[in-house]
């Protein structure tokens, strides 16, 4: 396995953009674990499947699911059963269901094995919610990002290029996702004991990337 740097934290804390920039500075590959869960969510939605308590149907759907992740520029291309779904998985519909799908034990086990396989081939910066505690407990460096809820909602608003009157809806969605992510039984969102917490509430993007880069530079050279 190559070097592994993980960035965990709640939705909207800046994990994805930070991980992309950090990977570029270090010359590592960026692993977007959230995109992998989004791909499964997208498939379930396409099938009209919404009963996430039906373990036999979930197992059957996963057995017919092939996800490929390929480095591409500053990010990844996501293929679902050989079709490029990189853009489709960022839809508002997927946003609304991804935490529910990601809370399913069978889905998490399936995804986590794919993530470990990917790390066996590259030096990576990976971002997610359970990487330092469950997927990569022996990661070289563990970062845990946090930020004020209103700041996170505002960032999502800008990311989606949405109107300001949608702020409450974004805030409510993040609150719902925080609850689902932190309360699920299988590998819930929580800070690893040996993770370094970085609060991005009052940091600019460049400042948070530089702070984490300096941590990495000191620890792995």
Q: Is the pLDDT of residue 74 over 70?
A: no
Residues of the chain above pLDDT 90, percent: 47
pTM of the model: 0.81
User: Is 148 part of a structural domain of the chain?
Assistant: yes
Query: Residue 176 maps to which CATH number?
Result: 3.40.50.300
Q: What does the H/E/C string look like for the chain? A: CCCEEEEECCCCCCHHHHHHHHHHHHCCEEEEHHHHHHHHHHHHHHHCCCCCCCHHHHHHHHHCCCEEEEEECCEEEEEECCEECCCHHHCHHHHHHHHHHHCCHHHHHHHHHHHHHHHCCCCEEEEECCHHHHHCCCCCEEEEEECCHHHHHHHHHHHCCCCHHHHHHHHHHHHHHHHHHHHCCCCCCCCCCCCEEEECCCCCHHHHHHHHHHHHHHHHC
Q: Is the pLDDT of residue 75 over 70?
A: no
pLDDT tens-digit series, residues 105-122? 889 888 888 889 888 888
pLDDT band at 219 (very low <50, low <70, confident <90, very high): confident
128 is a domain residue: yes
Domain count, the chain: 1
Domain range for 55 is: 4-209
């Amino acid at each position: 396995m190559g070097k592994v740097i993980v960035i965990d934290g709640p939705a909207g804390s800046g994990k994805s953009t930070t991980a992309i920039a950090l990977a570029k500075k270090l010359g590592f590959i960026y692993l977007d674990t959230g995109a992998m869960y989004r791909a499964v969510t997208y498939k379930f939605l396409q099938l009209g499947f919404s009963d996430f308590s039906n373990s036999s149907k979930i197992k059957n759907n996963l057995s017919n699911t092939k996800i490929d992740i390929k480095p591409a520029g500053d990010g990844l291309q996501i293929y679902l059963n050989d079709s490029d779904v990189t853009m489709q998985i960022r839809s508002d519909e997927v946003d609304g269901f991804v935490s529910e799908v990601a809370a399913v034990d069978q889905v998490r086990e399936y995804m986590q094995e794919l993530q470990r396989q990917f790390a066996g081939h590259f030096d990576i910066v990976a971002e997610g919610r359970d990487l330092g505690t469950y997927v990569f407990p022996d990661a070289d460096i563990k970062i845990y990002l946090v930020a004020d809820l209103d700041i996170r909602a505002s960032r999502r608003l800008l990311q989606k290029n949405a109107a300001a009157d949608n702020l409450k809806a974004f805030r409510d969605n993040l609150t719902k996702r925080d609850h689902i992510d932190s309360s699920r039984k299988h590998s819930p969102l929580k800070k690893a004991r040996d993770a370094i917490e970085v609060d991005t509430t009052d940091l600019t993007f460049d400042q948070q990337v530089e702070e984490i880069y300096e941590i990495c530079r000191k620890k792995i050279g």
